[in-house]
Amino acid sequence: MSADGESGVRTRAEWNEEAGPPVVCLHGTVASGGNWANLAMELLARGRVVVAPTYGERGTRPVRDNLAEVTGIVRRTLEATGAAQVDVVGHSQGGLLAGLMVAAMLREEPGALPPGAIRRVACISGGHRGVRGHGLPKKLVGATFGPALADQMELARALRRTGGEPEVARAVRDAGSAPLPDWFDLVTDADRIIPAGSALTPDEYPGARTVRLEDVLGRGVPHQLQPHDRGIAEFVAELLA
């Protein structure tokens, strides 16, 4: 389902509050909302409203542009359903965007979601610390995969250079005692794009929980297969219950 396409989100009358908040699923770079088909089926079977947009020209536009777009999608989802909150699922860049949305919300930045608008976040190999370029020139990456991947490579370089924290961790620290969305990071040693160490720590985000796919599924899942994996879909649907 799309927040602004022909299919649209379910109408206010179709949203079942008892089933839980609408779920907005954010794909990664050079991907699409169709990647979430298995998760969408799991959630729809539980009565949830699912919004799985294809944003940012398949996630290739600059990260800040993508952030503005997905924030608008979440806002329209709240308006269309009448819900006060959403849950957010993000894979790779989608996890980075989820964190940036939470950071802006906590800081009450202009254009940000209203405080408390996100109930729970589940990231699958979320790119909170960027993506390593493995020696590829930034210009080549940008020309081939678009500005978003180059932005994520630059983020990784900056954090390595400064020893800094992800944006959402800084916002959480500045927010003091403000209520935080529940936070889950799903990671795996089978991922060669986003290492397991990219997850937020409890020191960075109080209450954050890191889950190894090897522990819950008995197997790892490569990066590009994660949004499609039925086992991950079933587990994430349970996390959001």
Count of CB atoms within 10 A of residue 197's CB?
A: 9
27 has a pLDDT exceeding 50: yes
- CA-based nearest residue to 7, from 52, 55, 67, 72: 52
The pTM of the full predicted model, rounded to 2 decimals, is: 0.92
Strand partners, 51: 24
Query: How confident is the model over 89-109, as a mean pLDDT?
Result: 98
Q: String of b and e for 131-144 (b: at least 16 CB within 10 Å)?
A: bbbeeeeeeebbee
pLDDT of residue 134: 60
* Nearest-angstrom CA–CA distance, 185 and 88: 12
Secondary structure (3-state) at 233: helix
* Segments making up each domain of the chain, as ranges: 23-239
Q: Residue 88: phi, psi to the nearest 5?
A: -125, 130
CA within 13 Å, CB half, 124: 31
Mean of pLDDT values over 143-162: 89
Give the percent of the chain with pLDDT over 90. 84
Q: Is there a contact between 48 and 22 (Cβ–Cβ < 8 Å)?
A: yes
Q: What average pLDDT does the segment 170-195 reach?
A: 95
pLDDT at 16 (0 to 100)? 85
CATH architecture of 23-239: 3-Layer(aba) Sandwich (3.40)
Q: Edge-to-edge strand order for the sheet containing 182-187?
A: 50-51, 23-26, 86-91, 118-124, 182-187, 209-212
Question: What's the pLDDT at 135?
Answer: 56
- Tokens standing for 191? 């991922």
Convert the pLDDT of each residue in 54-84 to its tens digit: 999 999 999 999 999 999 999 999 999 999 9
